């Protein structure tokens, strides 16, 4: 099969989900709903679940607000919050137009992690209003997933809320992508037999994902001075002409300028990639954003993460022809998919199970290590460095390691043994999946093709 035919087939295949989406979204009118979790034998039971019986748990929570975790579903509620300013690759399309994405995220939370997640679209773009809104929602939710919020404000929102909230705050565009990338990097380096502290890493793009990736790979052991990061104006370094603007408006980029690129390399993407052991690109869709000759200039046994969707910055076979030994993308139809969905369900399952107050970088690293270990247990190869979504044991295993680290760091409200937490996570996720299958079997979820 020629590469030209392969590309055409890939592009045609990439359009199929969009066609199905426009057929099935109006059929189901969305993707999630609310169902009772308590028994309702007859109408007398409402005296237990509502007035007058409900007054008793209310009074208990009034005496101790942490009782909300025991007497309500707070401990399994997660809000998926967005202002619709950076939805997928569509940009600022507004909160209503972003709702299908947040519904989809909530669906993944439930099916993969057994988490009851709700989409909440905010009709504001103001940073302070978003921060205040999240803060006043805390009594209802056990955690918050920020999603598709434009940068640089997404950094301030996350950092402020992580510091000031009493429940865990997570930004999946930053932390989720970073977590799975770190997991893939851990295993890729094992295959090429390179030490993480010695490798030179080129990061192409300086948006939410790659800023977080830089922070997390440093936490995982990459030497900060060995990182060369590139934005739309070139390599980040402390003598950039726009340094005053960076200091004032883009403090995260300025931090990268000060802490990475120890040799003060200047230039653009080709200069960053020369002799690099690892390329991690989270920039604009390709192909052609990353050129073959730039990959050819990388070190032997190069590792390439081309994570743009729907088309990676360079086709995998082009990167391989140019000398890359391992290639990962964001697509499910290529090997080594860097998929956020491998991270956030397990992260939040583990966080909620110990009622953690926050999600630390160390908790993310533990999740990444366990994600890598799941793949290693199966047998890593150049085409298999991270698990697939259908390996559902990923999620309870991640959950346990995340919870353990939360306990060790003193941010957990509950201290339960690992074995007990594994059984709890496994059963919760198993129940969520079986509930969906039961609803389909009984035709409460209707098959549109019948």
pLDDT on residue 2: 43
Does any domain span residue 438? no
Question: Is 136 in the same domain as 230?
Answer: no
Residues 121 and 195 in one domain: no
User: Which CATH number is 249's domain given?
Assistant: 3.40.50.720
My answer on whether 161 and 202 are in the same domain is no
252 with 281, same domain: the answer is yes
User: At 297, phi and psi to the nearest 5?
Assistant: -80, -5
Q: Which domain-ending residue is among 140, 167, 194? A: 167
Q: How does 98-136 read in b/e, with b if 16+ C-beta sit within 10 Å?
A: bbebbbbbbbbbbbbbbbbbbbbbbeebebeebbebbbe
105 a catalytic residue: yes
Predicted confidence at residue 285, as pLDDT, reads: 85
Name residue, tokens 């208990």.
60
CA–CA gap between residue 186 and residue 174 (Å, rounded): 18
**Structure tokens that stand for 386 in this block:** 């991270």
Q: What is the pLDDT of residues 93-135, one digit of tens each?
A: 999 999 999 999 999 999 999 999 999 999 999 999 999 999 9
Same domain, 83 and 187: no
> What are the helix (H) ranges across 291-441?
292-296, 316-321, 344-353, 361-378, 394-408, 418-441
Residues 136-164 have a mean pLDDT of: 94
Tell me: do 179 and 307 sit in the same domain: yes
Least confident among 223-227, 272-276, 389-393: 389-393
Catalytic residue among 74, 105, 200, 253: 105
Considering the candidates 13, 28, 50, 197, report the single residue annotated as catalytic.
50
133/192 same-domain check: no
Same-domain pairing of 279 and 294 = yes
pLDDT tens-digit profile of 255-290? 999 999 999 999 999 999 999 999 999 988 888 999
**Domain presence at residue 129:** yes
Annotation says 405 is catalytic: no
Q: What average pLDDT does the structure give for the chain?
A: 93
> Of the residues 120, 140, 167, which one is the last residue of a structural domain?
167
Most confident of the ranges 172-176, 219-223, 242-246: 219-223
Q: Examine the domain organization and report whether 268 and 353 are in the same domain.
A: yes
Q: Please indicate, yes or no, whether residues 119 and 179 belong to a single structural domain of this protein.
A: no
Domain that holds residue 268: 174-422
Say what the pLDDT of residue 106 is. 97
207: confidence class by pLDDT, cuts 50, 70, 90: confident
Task: Note the pLDDT of residue 14.
Answer: 66
The model carries a pTM of 0.91
What is the pLDDT averaged over residues 420-440?
96
pLDDT at residue number 1 = 36
Please indicate, yes or no, whether residues 163 and 266 belong to a single structural domain of this protein. no
Q: Helix axis angle, 95-113 relative to 394-408, nearest 10°?
A: 90
């Amino acid at each position: 099969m020629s590469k030209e035919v392969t590309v055409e087939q890939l592009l045609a295949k990439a359009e199929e989900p969009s066609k199905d989406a426009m057929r099935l979204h109006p059929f189901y009118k969305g993707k999630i709903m609310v169902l009772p979790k308590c028994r309702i034998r007859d109408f007398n039971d409402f005296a237990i679940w509502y007035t007058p019986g409900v007054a008793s748990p209310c009074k208990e929570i009034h005496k101790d607000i942490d009782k909300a975790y025991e007497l309500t579903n707070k401990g399994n509620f997660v809000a998926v919050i967005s202002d619709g300013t950076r939805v997928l690759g569509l940009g600022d399309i507004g909160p209503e137009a972003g709702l299908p994405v947040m519904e989809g995220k909530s669906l993944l939370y439930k099916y993969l992690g057994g988490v009851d997640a709700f989409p909440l679209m905010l009709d504001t773009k103001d940073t302070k209003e978003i921060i205040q809104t999240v803060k006043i929602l805390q009594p209802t939710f056990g955690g918050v997933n920020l999603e598709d919020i434009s940068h640089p404000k997404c950094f301030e929102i996350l950092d402020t809320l992580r510091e000031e909230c009493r429940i865990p705050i997570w930004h999946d565009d930053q932390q989720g992508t970073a977590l799975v990338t770190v997991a893939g990097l851990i295993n890729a380096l094992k295959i090429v037999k390179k030490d993480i502290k010695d490798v030179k890493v080129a990061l192409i793009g300086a948006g939410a994902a790659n800023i977080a990736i830089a922070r997390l790979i440093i936490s995982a052991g990459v030497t900060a001075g060995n990182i060369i990061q590139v934005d739309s104006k070139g390599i980040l370094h402390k003598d950039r002409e726009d340094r005053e603007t960076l200091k004032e408006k883009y403090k995260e980029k300025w931090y990268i300028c000060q802490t990475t690129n120890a040799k003060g390399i200047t230039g653009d993407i080709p200069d960053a990639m020369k002799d690099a052991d690892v390329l991690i690109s989270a920039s604009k869709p390709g192909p052609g954003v990353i050129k073959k000759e730039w990959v050819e200039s990388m070190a032997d046994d190069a590792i390439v993460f081309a994570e743009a969707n729907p088309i990676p910055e360079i086709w995998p076979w082009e990167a391989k022809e140019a000398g890359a030994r391992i290639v990962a993308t964001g697509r499910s139809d290529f090997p080594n998919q860097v998929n956020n969905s491998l991270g956030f369900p397990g992260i939040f399952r583990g966080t909620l199970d110990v009622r953690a107050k926050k999600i630390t970088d160390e908790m993310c690293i533990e999740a990444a290590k366990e994600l890598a270990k799941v793949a290693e247990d199966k047998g890593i190869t150049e085409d298999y460095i991270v698990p697939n979504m259908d390996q559902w044991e990923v999620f309870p295993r991640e959950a346990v390691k995340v919870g353990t680290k939360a306990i060790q760091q003193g941010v957990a409200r509950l201290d339960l043994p690992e074995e007990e937490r594994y059984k709890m996570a496994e059963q919760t996720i198993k129940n969520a999946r079986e509930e969906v299958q039961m609803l389909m079997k009984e035709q409460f979820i209707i098959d549109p093709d019948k």
